[in-house]
Structure 1
Amino acid sequence: MSTLLTMPMLGAVGETLLLITLAVGPMLALYGVFQLVQDLRGNSKKRIASRLQGRSARAAGTTKITAEDLRRQTKAATGLLGGMLVNMSVTKRFQKVLEQANLAWSAPKVLGNLTITAAIAFAALVMVGAGLLVGLGVAAAVYVLPVYYCVLRRKRRLKKFVNQLPDVFELLGQALRAGHSLASGMQLVANEMPDPAGTEFGRVFQEQNLGLKIEDALTNLAERMDILDVRFFVTAVLIQRQTGGDLSEVLDKIGSVIRERIKLRGTVMALTAEGRLSGYVLLALPILVFIALWYINREYALVLIEHPTGQMMLGTACIMMVMGYFMIQKIVNIKV
């Protein structure tokens, strides 16, 4: 195998990489500068537009924004490819994921940049001679891994938010019993609780303080944090504001139910820990065996990479490993 890696081949590969870098590098640099200038222009335009709209609203008593203005502002903020992706349902769902993960990013811009980066990585690997499968695998990894990071961060933030809810409801109940209003209680939560509870309830207080009805601000919270306990809380507040009643007692009961659910979830996690560990071991064991085989008998391992039948076997094994892992996770992940 060492005779195959001759100096002329290394020189050809290096020359190809150099040509790709010279061709793609300036394009990426120009695209980055274009995006930066566009962002700066968009921010300045937003400031000027907000001032003009504020003056016109004070003069005429109303401000009207047309759908064409919104489309133009969105295209200016997200770029050409992002403007094409902005109306897709996948983009809208990913934008909600970014909001729940507390990432101040634009979903169309993120997906557009990932698409361009994945396409460049695929083209570069194919031109180098790495093969279509390797190019597709790397391009998929370039596209999927950042999205997976956002989803994982969202999951962790929502879990932390649920764990904070009992303390939030206890603090709100104490504030209401002390004579404070619901808005003042939310301000207290925003000041005393860390992120994400403090951030989200602080946003509710700011929306209510800027003129939005408390019912609408709480509804926005329920839509933003797609959690069953939050919907219970919002429903209880809306009913109490219409019919009356002791809201502090309701909050205490909801907080008690959430605490018991958290304890039960911990028990379930402990009982299913063995199944989750089995999934991790079954996923990692074939990879570790292949790495060991690569160092022990490399020629035997190369059959799986170079021979078409070996490539098919390797791809089938990877697919079955991933399917088995997700099946095990489906069994051990019990919703409480």
Structure 2
Amino acid sequence: MTDPTLLALGATVLCGTLAVAGVHSYASGRAQRQALVDRLSGTGPLRGATGRARRFAAVDRRLRRTRLGRAIQLRLSATGLDLTAGEFFTYVTAVVVALWLIAASVLAPFFGPIAGLVGVWSAVFFLNWQRQKRIEAFINQLPDVARLLANATAAGLALRTSLAMAAEELEAPAGEELSMVADQLTMGRSVDDALGELAARLPSRELVVLVTTLVLANKAGGTVVSSLRNLTQTLEDRKETRREIRTMLSEVNATAFTVPLLGLGSLLLVNSSNEGALARVTGSPVGQALVLISLGLYGVGFVVIRRLGKIEV
């Protein structure tokens, strides 16, 4: 090989190396810029608090710019789930498509859209159930929260310091929620705004009473220690009452879910005993109307049973 050939080969290798380094530097800088934009715009980091790499980051960024994405993220933030709006939306979409295809193939094509709507409703119900579950867990920890705040205030600590100390002492979800409040207070937000956002995120009568007591004590002073200790005993009594009511109504709640499952089981039984029966029934407008009416009655029964088993304490 001649010297010009070696020179050309060396120049090619050098240019290729510089090109790879340039592309890598450009991609790294763009990723850092996007992470900075996400953090400053409130669209969230690409990694969660647990360090888990986020999936569907592009979907999440685009979705959070819409009203639907912001609503999903608001609901997710109240549930404590380690999911982004993009991940939740992608998973729900996959489940809805799967339910659509399964219902259309097992029952009849008419039941495909119905199964998709049931999948969407189930996703909303799951978020509400997770939120209510977190609220219940937080309510069960409220006596400990009031006790810690009363002891810290009796020791002469300020309310901001008391909230930060309670956040360190308590487990999730109370520890996480109070930690968010303490961080907001550190960033300069007022006590009224931080505690008011907490009460809006996890609405309950017990938390509203605690927040009102803390806000009034922060504004006007007074015997906050005795108020918190009396509130602690009241919260303990309400906790036991709620536990007894939940135990008594467990059978009613189980019945609410059993009734729609019986309807689904009857559809599967009819279609298995007479193959193609549902396809023939839903092949006419009258049959479709009757199926929709029956499904609506099952839905009404579910809602009525749930309402009857709901007692406000």
- Would the TM-score normalized by the shorter structure come out above 0.5? yes
1:100 equivalent in structure 2: 78
Matches of 1:278 and 1:255, distance apart in 2: 35
What displacement does 1:266 show? 2.9
Out of 288, 295, 311, the position equivalent to 1:318 is 295
1:277-303 CA-partner distances (Å, limit 9, x unpaired): 4434433334445555666xx12x742
2:203 equivalent in structure 1: 226
Structure 1 gap segments, 5+ residues each:
1-39, 52-64
Identity %: 19
**Paired amino acid for 1:324:** G
Larger relative contact order (CA 8 Å, sep ≥ 6): 2
Out of 192, 199, 203, the position equivalent to 2:180 is 203
What displacement does 1:142 show? 4.5
The structure with the largest helix share of the pair is 1
What secondary structure sits across from 2:188 in the alignment? coil
Matches of 1:287 and 1:129, distance apart in 2: 12
1:191 equivalent in structure 2: 168
Say if 1:144 and 1:273 are closer, same or farther in 2 by CA, change over 3 A. Answer: closer
Does 2:143 correspond to 1:155?
Answer: no
TM-score, reference length from structure 2 = 0.69
What displacement does 1:183 show? 2.4
Matches of 2:34 and 2:203, distance apart in 1: 30
2:33 equivalent in structure 1: 45
What secondary structure sits across from 1:180 in the alignment? coil
Contact residue 107 and residue 279 of structure 2 kept, 8 A: no
What displacement does 1:156 show? 0.8
RMSD: 4.0
Matches of 2:30 and 2:115, distance apart in 1: 33
Does 2:150 correspond to 1:173?
Answer: yes
What displacement does 1:228 show? 2.7
Matches of 1:106 and 1:46, distance apart in 2: 17
Contact residue 85 and residue 112 of structure 1 kept, 8 A: no
What displacement does 1:221 show? 1.9
Contact residue 276 and residue 332 of structure 1 kept, 8 A: yes
1:303 equivalent in structure 2: 277
1:239 equivalent in structure 2: 216
Matches of 1:122 and 1:290, distance apart in 2: 15
Question: What aligned pairs does 1:59-74 form with structure 2 within 5 A after superposition?
Answer: none
**Paired amino acid for 1:236:** T
What displacement does 1:195 show? 0.5
What displacement does 1:271 show? 4.0
Which segment drifts farther, 162-171 or 220-229?
220-229
Aligned pairs, how many?
Answer: 273
Matches of 2:249 and 2:38, distance apart in 1: 54
2:12 equivalent in structure 1: none
Contact residue 185 and residue 191 of structure 2 kept, 8 A: yes
Contact residue 125 and residue 131 of structure 1 kept, 8 A: no
Structure 2 gap segments, 5+ residues each:
1-27, 45-55
Matches of 1:280 and 1:216, distance apart in 2: 39
Matches of 2:258 and 2:82, distance apart in 1: 36
**Paired amino acid for 1:95:** Q
What displacement does 1:85 show? 7.1
What displacement does 1:130 show? 8.4
